[in-house]
Amino acid sequence: MHSIKLFLTDVDGCLTDGGMYYSAEGEVMKRFCVYDGMGMVLLKQAGIPCGILTSEQSPIVKARAEKLKLDFLYLGVGSKVNPDSLTKLQAAQEICGKLGITMEEVCYVGDDINDIDLLSAVGFPCCPPNARPEVKALPGIKVLKTPGGQGAIRELADEILV
């Protein structure tokens, strides 16, 4: 895994347990695992840019990305609600173009059907064990041992940095 030059992840189901907390005013909270945050900080310290691609338009995710000083944040990509948005694959290709790298050098963690195109295009596709069966069945995908929102990203970061 030493040829990884970019680390990207989805949020819900990967950085969180997939649960969403709503009030009458809308989204209120998401639970993030500090181990995952440290995993991305360690990747960044090792020179691997990190980013989030999510279909959600979430100020909570924006705040988390800013706290971790992530290199890339794409909100509202791959959204079925907004078909005019970039797909997650297009967003990743745009980032690769900026960095001058290929999709083969990208590690992406996704868990649902809107991640399949991107997972199928990267060199290092991964998913947590709580991912949808269609995702876990993708050829070449690494199914992590740790569930999303409980340190899955840290598990992967530790493997990448060995």
CA-only gyration radius of the chain, Å: 14
* CA-based nearest residue to 116, from 134, 95, 93, 142: 134
Q: Report how many domains make up the chain.
A: 1
Confidence (pLDDT) at 80:
67
Decide if 31 is inside a domain. Answer: yes
Q: Is 108 part of any domain?
A: yes
Which pLDDT score is estimated for 84?
Answer: 77
The mean-pLDDT minimum among 2-16, 72-86, 103-117, 146-160 falls in 72-86
Q: Residue 11 is encoded by which pair of tokens?
A: 């949020």
- Residue 144: other Cβ atoms inside 10 A: 22
Q: Is the pLDDT of residue 1 over 60?
A: no
Is 1 inside a domain boundary? no
Q: Counting beta carbons within 10 angstroms of the beta carbon of residue 102, is it exposed (0 to 12), middle (13 to 18) or buried (19 or more)?
A: middle
**Is residue 15, in this structure, part of any structural domain at all?**
yes
Q: Which residue has the tokens 């990207």?
A: 8
Residue 81 has pLDDT above 70, yes or no: no
Q: Indicate whether 87 belongs to any domain.
A: yes
C-alpha triplet 6, 45, 35: angle, nearest 5°: 85
Q: Binning pLDDT at 50, 70 and 90, where does residue 147 land?
A: very high
The residue to which tokens 């963690």 are assigned: 109
Strand partners, 143: 127
The reply to whether 29 falls in a domain is: yes
Asked, for residue 109, whether it belongs to a domain, the answer is yes
Give the separation between CA 15 and CA 153, rounded to whole angstroms: 7
Mean pLDDT to the nearest integer, 3-22: 94
CATH of the domain at 122: 3.40.50.1000
Per residue in 124-134, pLDDT (tens digit) is: 999 999 999 99
- On whether residue 152 sits in a domain, the answer given is yes
3-state class of 28 per DSSP? strand
Coil, strand or helix at 76: coil
Token pair listed for 21 = 């907390």
Give the structural domain span for 44: 6-160
% of the chain residues with pLDDT over 70 = 96
